[in-house]
Every structure is written in C-alpha cells, then in structure tokens.
Structure 1
Amino acid sequence: MGVLSKVAALGAFAGLATAWLPETNKKIQSNDGKNLFTSSNGKIRGVNLGSQFIFEPWIGTSEWNSMGCGSTGSEFDCVSSLGQDAANSAFQKHWGDWITQDDISEMVSYSLNTIRIPVGYWLREDLVYSDSEHFPQGGLDFVKKVCGWASDAGMYIIMDLHGAPGAQTPGNAFTGQLASEPGFYQDYQYERALKFLEWMTGLIHSTDEFRNVGMLEIVNEPVQDDDKASSMRQNYYPKAFERIRANETSAGIDKADYLHIQMMDKLWGSGDPNQYIDDLYYAAYDDHRYLKWDTSVDASHDSYISESCSDNRDSNTPTIVGEWSLAVPDDVESDSDWDPKSQTDFYGKWFAAQVHSYEKQQGWVFWTWKAQLNDYRWSYQDAVKAGVIPKDLSSLQNVCN
C-alpha cells in the first residue's frame, strides 16, 4: 500500500483526477492557490454531506415534509408514493437547495478541507430495476456540481457508496430503502455494485468536476453478521479492487494516480477487510465511532472525555474516522447534565478530545454538516455557530494532557 509521493498542484489537472491522501507540505491547492491542508499538517478534517443525495428523514424533517415525503420513511418509499415525475422534481429542488456553493465556502472558512459524499447505486440509473425499485432520477448533474465547487475550493472528496443494491443493512434509510432483510449479500447484487464502482471510477478519472475525488468507498456500514460479512469479504471486496484497477489500467491511468479504495476497518466488526485481497496498493479504511451507542463506556462527562482522549482507532492503516458526532445516549440526551445549550464547555472539550485521537490516524469526517434538529450535536455548522467548535481548528484546546 502506498501514498502518492509526488507534489500535486490541482490547478494543473485539466480533466484528469488525481488520487492522493493529503500529507504535510503537499501542494494541494484551490483555484486561488490556497493549500487547505497546511494548517492541519496533512490530516483530513471534514464533514459528511448527510441527506444531500441519500435523504435520512430524521436529519431534516421540515425539508422532507416540504418535498411531499413526510408520510414516508425512505427515498424508495417517497418515490413510490409521489410517482416518478413528481419525485424527480421534488428531489432535484432539494439537491439544489440543501448544499450550495455558499456551504462549501463556509466549510473552508471553518478550516475544513474534506467532504464525504454518500450516494446510492441508483445514481447510475440503468442499474435500477424500474419495475420494482423506485429512486429519484437526475442526481448525477448535482453531484458533479457539488464536486466542482469543492474541487475549485481545494477540498479533498471521498465518494461513498452509502446505499448498495438490495440494501446492505435492514430497516435503515441511509441505504435508500427500509428493507426488511439485507439483500445485498448475493452475487447478482455484488455485480450491480461492481458495475457502479466501475462507472464511478471512469467518471472520476475523466470528469473535471471530480478531479479532487481521491477515494472511493466501496460500501458503507455492512452488516456484522458472520456469514454475510464473510461472503462480502471473500466475493465482493477482492472483485471491487480488481474491477476498479482494471478500469484504471485500461484508461491508461498512472499507478500513482489511482483512486484509494476504502473499506470499513476491523473495528467496525465485519471481519478483516484485507483477508482475501492480494494487492492492497492504495487501500484505505473507514472507522465509525459513536460513543452514543457504546454501552461499555459510562455515560458521564469525565468518562467520555477520558475514553476519547485514549481512543486508538488503529486496526488498519491508513484509517479515517469517517463518521462521528457529539450525540449522547437517548436515555440521557435530554437531561440537564447533557443539555447542549448549558453544556457547551463540555461539548467543546469532547469535540477536542475526539479530534486529538482521530488525528493519530489520517483524520476525520464529522456526521453531518447540517441538520434541522435544533441540536448542534449532529450538525457541524450549528456547533460552530454555537461556539462549541472553533472556526479555526488550530485553536482547539488541549484536553488530553
């Protein structure tokens, strides 16, 4: 496994994407010559674009209702309810409004340098079974637009297959559908996902707006079931590497410019992602860390900060903590001791503690950039406005002495 060693000035690439993991002193520049990675010493500091291209209704209930989707629980269900044409119009308006160029500029002003973009396989519309699968259409142009803004600003982009064919986990809107069973773990569904990855690889390497997409995550949060996870590791992961690399080889892409291929790390619980892969060149790993759901950690301020300060997310390298937040367990989140309005000092310290540990590895991507929850614990934008997260991340307090 390697990391691109040459110095890359992004403005030099007219229509060809370059893959890299940002490192200190690498000249990864915006259109106006700024290097967003200098202040982070090469570490990824980013946000997820949650609910932009895969809507999770809990994140934005008001937006979901305004789209006419309020009585439904997922994109699949909303499209089924509204009908294809009406749904297309509703989602295209959402895609144009939820994340704008002003959002990208605001992220940069907060010393962020990376975005992770969750997308569904239905972005490639010919993969959808039109008689039985119902998803919004027309998203690709909006993905290009967001990537273009981010590339112009000098941000690194992680493209994440967040919703896999058949759904990789049951009952969760982040897959685009509320599947009763995870249907992803069979050969014909793997094949559809592989076709998506090939297609996306080709787009990234041939589309100017995608020039800063350096990483392609091949499936988000697969099940931790032994049999299904084993099938995925043995049958899907190696083929994903083979098919992505074959696409790049046939396109004449220099090996130094290959995409990084990202899998969930060992700590996620789906087994060793490397088990059946022969060539791990430019492999990368995704770790999700939510203390909210970790029942082994006592729900107290001191325990949370102590746990986060000593947290080692090092089961694979290079690892990016691609999802985390300031959310706390449901049974205490409304208690006065955890009130986000009165406990800003604690939440600021806990944010700093998590950053401290996640930057022991390659860096982090917060979930999520914005939300309509009136609660900054899930919204980076709101946490900055509340004074919990500093605009200048170099001013973070050291709470882990």
Structure 2
Amino acid sequence: MPSKIYGVNLGSWLVLESWMLPQEWLDMGGQSCSDCSTCIADEFSFAKAFPDTVDAIFKTHWETWFNQTDVDTLKSLGINTVRIPLGYWIVEQLVDRETEFYPRGGLEQLIRGLGQLHTAGIVAILDHHALPGVQTPNQMFTGHCTSDVEFYTPPNYQRALVWAGVMTALSHLHPTFASVFAIEAVNEPIMDAAQTPGYGTYQENFVTVVRAVEAAIGVKTQGLDNPQATTNASQAILNFSSSQNNTRINSDVKTALGTTANILAQIASDENTQFDLRGSGSGQASLVTNFMDVNWQNDNPSNPAAAAWGPQGYDNHLYYVFGGVAAADPDDYMDSICNLNRVQADATLGDSPLWFGEWGLPTQFDATDEFLQEWADAQKLAYSKGAGWIFWNFKVEHSTLAGNLSREWSYIDGVRLGYLTEDPSAVHNTSVCAPFVDNS
C-alpha cells in the first residue's frame, strides 16, 4: 500500500456504466432511457438480449476502453493506485446461466490489465463493485439495474465469499496479480442498515475467508497454522479447511473455501497452468481487506473495524452533485469541504486508515473554470488528511452525445484543462481553504 494513495477508478472497464460512454453503448447495440431498468442500459440486459454476440462485443470494449496507452498516461500523471470495479461474474463459475446474464472473458482482460499496471509500477485495489443478487437498487454500477435487491441473503453472501477467496488466491499466486494490495468487499451497500440484514456477519466472514486462503497457501497469518502437505494450491486450501478448529472458520467459511478450491483448479486448467505453492505464498504480505466505512450506513450499522484481522482499510465516497451534502452554491461547497471531519470521525470508531475511493468535480450548478480548480484543490487537501484519494473516473467518452461529461468526471481531462495538477500530490493553492476554515 502506498504511503499516500493518489489514484483513479477504472470505471466502465470491467463493469460497464453506459452513462459514461453513451455513444459507444448505442454503437454496441445498447439503448438509452431515463429509467435504466426499462431498457438495455446495463450488462445484464445486454447479455440477455444478445446472447450470441455479447462476448465478442464486450471483448472489443474491454480492449479499447483500458489498454497500454491509458496505463502510460496514468503513469505520466503520477498516479500510483487504481481501483478496479469488478462484477461477481468475472468469476464465471459463480453465475447461474439460467437466470443471470453477463459477458464471459473478463478475467482474461483483468489479467492483461494487471500485468500492464504492474510493469508501470501502479498498484491496484480489486473492488467488488457489483455483487451477486445486486446490493443497491436501480443502479447501473451493479451490472443489473433493478429494484429487486437480493444480495443480503445467505446464498448470495456465500457467492460473494467465494469471489473473495478466488481473488485472494489469484492475488498471491498469479504473477500478473502482483500489483494487487487490497480487496474491497462491497461497493456502496444500501445506506440504511435496517435493509442489509446479515451484513455484519458477512464482513467478518469476508475477512476470515481472505485470511484462511492466505494461511492455506503459506502467507503468515496470526492465529492460523498452515498444515499443508502439498504444493498444489487448490488441495492446500481443501486440506486447510478440513483441519481448522478456529471459531472464526465457521461452516459458511468452510463451504466458501471448498468452492474456492474447486474454482481455482478450474481456472488453473483454463489458464493451462498449475498454481504451485513453492515460493508463492511464503514471505508475501497479507492483503488489505477493505470496506466502506461504518459511517457510510445509518440506523445502527455494524462496524467493519470489528471484523479486522490483519491489515484493513476503509473507503468513503463523497459526491456533492447528487445533493444532501451542501447547498447548491460555490461558497457552501467550499465551506463544507474545507471543514470536512470524516477522517477524524472514522478514526474515533476504529475505521482507519481511511481513503476516499470515489469523488469528482461535478456540481449542482454551472461551475466556472476558476471554481473547478479551487474545488479540485480543496477536495484533494481534505481527502489527503486520510490515506489518500481515488478519483472517479480515469476517463469519460468524448462525443457529441456525452457533451461536457468529461470536464468534471475525467481525471485525465481534469489535468489537461488545468483543474487538477500534473503532480497529484500538489495543489494550485495551498491556502484555498483559508477563507472558509472554521477555527472556532
């Protein structure tokens, strides 16, 4: 993990959000509608509508939306971290093909991209952005825009645990995953904790699965012994699961470990390689488990800090453009951001280190160029009080249909237009907040 995160999201790459590339989406065969649940506006509806061509169409998208040119650009801009939104369907064995519809081939693209990032010296967070059963209603970012939210159920918690197990194993065993330092459990769960039953138990099981897989493949894990007598990773995970008496390794975790081992063997077969443990896990650092912070939810939420076992980080997202944060006025925006206390508030509850995994420049009013530069500076200064920041998004489509979207949503364009500094650790004006800070 970098000493300070200066990052961007690779949004719309492996979880496509059609609002960010409206012309390409239409060219692919998708549709545009005001209610994304009523037309072909997401990956699920697209794959359902075009089962015979979806894989080839998405392969073209994956290869063009994020590639070596983008990696070179991000490196030149001093970006040290990327957050990669992923759907559960990147582990294809988790998809019920009778009722769920998603493109195949994403894992190959993730392997390709992580290799390019690793060569460039850019580290990665694997963000479980779109969960089995859908974790938030009526959002493109879940991969299936629907009001039918079923993630918070035992079967889908179980699939998410398996996803975590597979990603953990690959992060330690697959050479191109060497850039991965963290795995995020759930992107933006429902904010009302009363609507997310079982989420606290899932948090603990998520961490336990990550640590159990690590221990099984030889990563030193406090409180867990490694009884492996094999060099085969899948068998080592199975052996480990059957030998453990640790109370955290409950029946749900053991089931997830068994399924993880089986899927890992299938991936090894598909990749035409064996994940050999000799020299793979031993000596490697534990992954950072990552959650949206406790203050993301209201109504007596569970605190993910209670689930910590080994290194853990916390994520907060802040967008003013959607309302509810400050009045739609430049001075109110600056007054709010310059007195932001989220880092301190989280730390008092044990949610530290905290990084801001999504933010941008959009506003509820017509912002001048001068204001957007001040707005960028003020946000960077606020978020840098924590572990750092990750801008949404690395880029946005340039087209007549997209209009001025990229002006406020694209990091690359933000630098080009002068709102964001070429050195991500710098700001234009270190005193930008001076007129707004409440010193009382």
Q: TM-score range by the shorter chain?
A: 0.7 to 0.9
Written as runs of structure 1 = structure 2, the 5 A alignment for 1:25-40 is none
Match of 1:216 among 172, 177, 183: 183
Which residue matches 1:324? 359
1:205: Cα distance to partner?
A: 0.5
Larger CA Rg, structure 1 vs 2: 2
- What do the CA deviations read for 1:236-276 (whole angstroms, capped 9, x no partner)? 11111111110000000134711100010022115243365
1:362: Cα distance to partner?
A: 0.1
- What do the CA deviations read for 1:217-244 (whole angstroms, capped 9, x no partner)? 01100012233334211x2111111111
Match of 2:15 among 33, 42, 54: 54
1:308: Cα distance to partner?
A: 1.3
Distance 2:352 2:155 in 1: 31
- What do the CA deviations read for 1:62-94 (whole angstroms, capped 9, x no partner)? 1111211235111000011111x3000000000
| Correspondence 1:392 to 2:423 | yes
Distance 2:175 2:341 in 1: 37
Distance 1:296 1:380 in 2: 22
Deviates more, 1:388-397 or 1:318-327: 388-397
Match of 1:288 among 309, 317, 327: 317
| Correspondence 1:92 to 2:127 | no
Contact in 2 for aligned 1:110/1:392 (Cα 8 Å): yes
TM-score (norm: length of structure 2) = 0.77
Contact in 1 for aligned 2:157/2:202 (Cα 8 Å): yes
Q: Which segments of 5 or more consecutive residues in structure 1 lack a partner in the other structure?
A: 1-20, 24-42
Q: 2:313 is paired with a residue of what secondary structure?
A: strand
Contact in 1 for aligned 2:6/2:424 (Cα 8 Å): no
Which residue matches 2:2? 22
Amino acid at match of 1:324: W
Contact in 2 for aligned 1:326/1:377 (Cα 8 Å): yes
1:180: Cα distance to partner?
A: 1.8
What root-mean-square deviation, in Å, do the aligned CA atoms of Structure 1 and Structure 2 show?
Answer: 1.5
Distance 2:2 2:181 in 1: 9
Which residue matches 1:251? 217
**CA distance 1:294–1:281, shift in 2 (3 Å):** farther
**CA distance 1:194–1:304, shift in 2 (3 Å):** same
Percent of aligned pairs with the same residue? 35
Which residue matches 1:363? 388
1:344: Cα distance to partner?
A: 1.2
Which residue matches 2:292? 264
Contact in 2 for aligned 1:263/1:273 (Cα 8 Å): no
Q: 1:291 is paired with a residue of what secondary structure?
A: coil
Q: Aligned residues, how many?
A: 349
Contact in 2 for aligned 1:324/1:367 (Cα 8 Å): yes
Moved over 3 A (4+): none
Which residue matches 1:34? none
- What do the CA deviations read for 1:270-300 (whole angstroms, capped 9, x no partner)? 52433652x4321111100111234241222
Written as runs of structure 1 = structure 2, the 5 A alignment for 1:343-354 is 343-354=368-379
Which residue matches 1:78? 46
Distance 2:140 2:390 in 1: 20
- What do the CA deviations read for 1:183-233 (whole angstroms, capped 9, x no partner)? 100001000010111011111101111101000001100012233334211
1:302: Cα distance to partner?
A: 1.8
Written as runs of structure 1 = structure 2, the 5 A alignment for 1:56-205 is 56-70=17-31, 72-83=40-51, 85-205=52-172
**CA distance 1:78–1:53, shift in 2 (3 Å):** same
Contact in 1 for aligned 2:90/2:104 (Cα 8 Å): yes
Distance 2:177 2:424 in 1: 26
Distance 1:82 1:218 in 2: 30
